[in-house]
Structure 1
């Protein structure tokens, strides 16, 4: 694959896997002559055969995490990543980048630098105190495992049908916190970073929606044409960047509410009433992401009864 990717120009000269393109083309030419096809045609056959085995795994991960495919960015790590990542990203129609010093980076090592701890309890009609206690326990476990406090995000999963409450804390160890030493970016630089995040989408407008001391939230509008460009609809893309320029959250067709902590409870209850859907299975409430201080926490359900999380009691200290 290295020879084919070099022959077809997918590997840049500054990448570790770069090789002499003329030699790669000559080598691929032997196979092309034997098969009676063009060099590019044979090269595409080889790459397509490889992508065919990689793409399904990536798409399963996208589905598992519920990420809109247009918000996906593939990052390459390892010496040979430049021979694989660009062609996979091109086939899937998503963004990609090759990590700086990628030849020294092991994707497995990077994954191991993430800390993930889950606390699960069986609780009937959990109260706010139950939920916050479980959250605190999950965060403390992540910190004991080596996660940096400012990197920990928490997902609260309430399954009312089975009476299960689950708190999952995910954070980065110190090996991934070199970015914390960087100075904060100003709003102009952050807007440029946001623009780059949407460079692969036909955004008609990009505006800063909310600017806080820890996060900048941006909204990008995309006009999608239907059959014969007659039917049109708009997609609303939302991007949350921290002050270092790191993407903390990306959402599609969401609704953003910005309010002081003391009045968020009423806002959240009204919003849940407005967006709760009902079917034969009961109530279905939308996912809720809470940005408070430096944390981005998620509350979501796959159940019949509504969670009674009160945001005005959420991390007010």
Structure 2
């Protein structure tokens, strides 16, 4: 088989990382770092050129061998944080005073003293024509607008008026976008605001997109450049030009994508720990949790991963006052422009503990060390972990424990403690702050602490993950190639799309339509149709129909570095993950490369006086990756030919009933290397027509495993 590679590039605030992955085996061929070229005439594209030339030349990779190339970027996020955005002019369209009010968006404060400047014109629908549109554009240009937003009432149902405005603006050489291109949800004010934020990013992102695309072409790579999205997927440059807002927070999403694709994590809390901050996100049932992103305290209709960030990481500094540790962070050694004490290249002979204010207006009780030559070093969490000897020698964050202990011994001596006591107390203080956020995630997403695993990624993964897990009695794992997990995530990310549509009491045709629309959309974005997986959800309270699709450009997720296990090995993996003996497992289903097991678990009762037994259903694939762990669930195996009738009978049998009617269980199907998630649909009538579409290509005797989970 000819050599094929995937290239991922992660453009960070300090470094631009590049990685090359073999498309067939999943083997990492090369890893490189260069300084991010913020101030180059070509911007960050110059750093991308450096990375590409380096990794392709040194590894004898020809442009024809690159089947996928993507990069993650913090540009949209940074532009919003720094206020580096274009002024926007809105043309509101409607028939009422309310439409005029809801399309009139005031200046948006992005950061203290930094605003997105917005101007507004309104055209009554009866007066809408090219002449009045051009008059409105003239006024907006005079007010300073560089990008035009068209926002019409009910444009999610009929976008023709917005399209007319866009056409007029483009004829005049202006950037233009509209509400219906961003969201199909009702809510004119939020839709308009989201469009304004999106529009403000277009000029800068277009400039960078053009330069980056030029770099790729100059290198000779034919594969289309993909860009990381905020929800963990990738999108084409063509889509970025229309919806740059979707790349907002994509830098945070790359690590989670790496955990899903490379680490094959299906359940747990992913901790990406760098030098200045820790990002925490929940992975449940093989999915990432998403929420509506906010900008400047304003809600938008843009979905991003639910990532909680704290200023706790490997470089976090320590505050000591009146002989007590008063806090850990938020300042890091990087911001204080100090080296870490544990990474000193020589053994110090004289260490003096001093206090500083790392930045203006900071408290003056952050501790640093000064050695005999006058150079100074920060006391850090990485130093504490190395002083305690909890970081493995082959780890990215490992440093000489001897030197670290010298510094921490001196710090402890000043405050009447041993180095071990001081380092332990600092790590405990940091862990308490992180664990408080983890507890919020556990409660919000209803995670079972008995099965909870903390998955550490990032360069400082080992600094805190192990200690945190042991302190709180949960399992942990440091993901392979943890320091490069974000870049790996970029290289392996799937094309992703989501449509949210306002539909009151959706019927079968509505569900079929949104499913077909998202399939067409994601295929047009570069995904291979045979790899696309779609889930549809009905939100009966908000009257929203939600379709999510994910697909690959050149490979199927399950094909990467697949190692199929014997059934005995799979059972051992399940038993180990569940913390039981294999004798507690009973096989209850099998279809394709999927297995279902019933696991008998014992849990302690009140005051540990009574032992309770409970059964957990586990779905696992032939690689030993656990896909589902569910209580109150049931498994059955049928064939494609009997699937409709079996599913109707089983959902009837396992439904509950209330004043609102029948509540069917969540439905998941497994067969022939594919999973189908129908948990978001609320009736069998909605599910069956979609099953007919999804299973149309299968033979009638194909085995299908059904998992029903009580809601």
Q: Distance in 2 between matches of 1:283 and 1:80?
A: 49
Q: Distance in 2 between matches of 1:104 and 1:176?
A: 22
Q: Which residue of 2 aligns with 1:207?
A: 586
Displacement, 1:98?
1.6
Q: Distance in 2 between matches of 1:147 and 1:241?
A: 26
Q: Give 2:402's match in structure 1, choosing from 18, 22, 34.
A: 22
Q: Which residue of 1 aligns with 2:281?
A: none
* 1:73–1:96 Cα contact (<8 Å) kept: yes
Q: Distance in 1 between matches of 2:504 and 2:430?
A: 47
Calculate the TM-score normalised by the size of structure 1: 0.80
Partner of 2:564, secondary structure, is coil
Q: Give 1:12's match in structure 2, choosing from 392, 396, 402.
A: 392
Aligned: 1:220 with 2:599: yes
Partner of 1:255, secondary structure, is strand
* 2:617–2:630 Cα contact (<8 Å) kept: yes
Aligned: 1:198 with 2:594: no
Displacement, 1:244?
3.2
Q: Distance in 2 between matches of 1:223 and 1:68?
A: 14
Aligned: 1:288 with 2:667: yes
Aligned: 1:126 with 2:507: yes
Q: Which residue of 1 aligns with 2:641?
A: 262
Q: Distance in 2 between matches of 1:155 and 1:92?
A: 35
* 1:113–1:175 Cα contact (<8 Å) kept: no
* Higher share in strand: 2
Residues 150/58 of structure 1: CA separation in 2 closer, same or farther (3 Å cut): farther
Q: Distance in 1 between matches of 2:631 and 2:532?
A: 23
Displacement, 1:36?
2.5
Q: Distance in 2 between matches of 1:241 and 1:150?
A: 22
Task: Compare 246-255 and 59-68 and name the one that shifted more.
Answer: 59-68
Q: Distance in 2 between matches of 1:204 and 1:35?
A: 53
Residues 145/249 of structure 1: CA separation in 2 closer, same or farther (3 Å cut): farther
Aligned: 1:248 with 2:635: no
* 2:589–2:596 Cα contact (<8 Å) kept: yes
Q: Distance in 2 between matches of 1:272 and 1:157?
A: 17
* 1:288–1:299 Cα contact (<8 Å) kept: yes
Aligned: 1:47 with 2:434: no
Task: Compare 104-113 and 65-74 and name the one that shifted more.
Answer: 104-113
Displacement, 1:226?
0.6
* 1:134–1:167 Cα contact (<8 Å) kept: yes
Displacement, 1:289?
1.8
Residues 193/144 of structure 1: CA separation in 2 closer, same or farther (3 Å cut): farther
Q: Give 2:565's match in structure 1, choosing from 171, 185, 197.
A: 185
Deviation digits for residues 132-172 of structure 1 (CA, Å, limit 9, x no counterpart): 44334434544554557676543321133454322222456
Question: Which structure exhibits the higher relative contact order, with contacts defined as CA atoms closer than 8 Å and separated by 6 or more residues?
Answer: 1
Aligned length: 314
Displacement, 1:118?
1.5
Q: Distance in 2 between matches of 1:111 and 1:37?
A: 47
Structure 1, gaps ≥5 residues long:
none
Q: Which residue of 1 aligns with 2:383?
A: 3
Displacement, 1:204?
6.5
Q: Distance in 1 between matches of 2:463 and 2:528?
A: 34
Partner of 1:45, secondary structure, is helix
Displacement, 1:82?
1.0
- Aligned counterparts, 1:63-102, within 5 A: 63-102=443-482
The structure with the largest alpha-carbon Rg is 2
* 1:204–1:222 Cα contact (<8 Å) kept: no
Displacement, 1:267?
3.3
Q: Which residue of 1 aligns with 2:617?
A: 238
- Aligned counterparts, 1:126-145, within 5 A: 126-127=507-508, 130-145=510-525
Deviation digits for residues 173-195 of structure 1 (CA, Å, limit 9, x no counterpart): 76995962434333233223323
* 1:261–1:312 Cα contact (<8 Å) kept: no
* 1:32–1:42 Cα contact (<8 Å) kept: yes
* 1:28–1:39 Cα contact (<8 Å) kept: yes
Deviation digits for residues 282-313 of structure 1 (CA, Å, limit 9, x no counterpart): 6543322222333323233597x776422762
Partner of 1:236, secondary structure, is strand
Q: Distance in 1 between matches of 2:578 and 2:480?
A: 21
Aligned: 1:31 with 2:411: yes
Q: Distance in 2 between matches of 1:65 and 1:314?
A: 31
Residues 202/172 of structure 1: CA separation in 2 closer, same or farther (3 Å cut): farther
Q: Distance in 2 between matches of 1:31 and 1:171?
A: 53
* 1:204–1:221 Cα contact (<8 Å) kept: no
Partner of 1:74, secondary structure, is strand
Aligned: 1:309 with 2:687: yes
